[in-house]
Structure 1
Amino acid sequence: MLEVTMLRFALISLALSVVLVGCVPATQANAKRYSLIVENQCKGPNQTVYFYINDQYWGVVKGSRIYQDLAAGSYNLRAVGTQAGAITFTRTLQLNQDAVWTLGIGGTPC
């Protein structure tokens, strides 16, 4: 009798485990990840900038800096010069491949 009860308990536990595992959402482990390079070619008050992604501070950029392991999606980028007289750069980026954001070329004042 005890063996039958234990067997039933084991089978019910196994069936419940299978049902619960089927309800677990898929993980993002295989989601695409990308890199963003911020290339700062400015001189003067924008030679060094504070860098923000979606209004969160991500660090200082002087020259080049790479930000790796970003998920695909839309990002609001902002770079703010660290010295008096600096200007603010902004860009919305749809990240679906590795990207470069260059500050200070193509007639962009710095």
Structure 2
Amino acid sequence: MKGQTLKENKDFRRLYYRGKSEASPVLVTYAMKNRRGGCFYGITTSKKIGGAVERNRARRVIRAAYRSLEPKINGSWDFVFVARTRTTIVKSQAVEKAMLEHMQALGAIDE
């Protein structure tokens, strides 16, 4: 099943203010349990990341990492992933590793 995406600004703001967060040089993850049944995710890439090509690559890499980890998530969660400058230059395995560590620290995935 393909993960559903967060599209509303209020959903992003809710996670920024009330969600728990984990940060690394490659990625910032905000997470919060939901009662909707199912996992939802959103990706933020600011202009600080670079031009359109770099931002699109960052989104693509984050999306691929999330899809590979989605079957391991237990329960219903909302996630917002914020790309950092290093996201565009590291290999996709590094982004997936950072995401896995963040999800484990936040309790979305069992060790």
Indicate whether the TM-score tops 0.5: no
Structure holding more strand per residue: 1
| Larger-gyration structure (1/2) | 1
TM-score (norm 2): 0.28
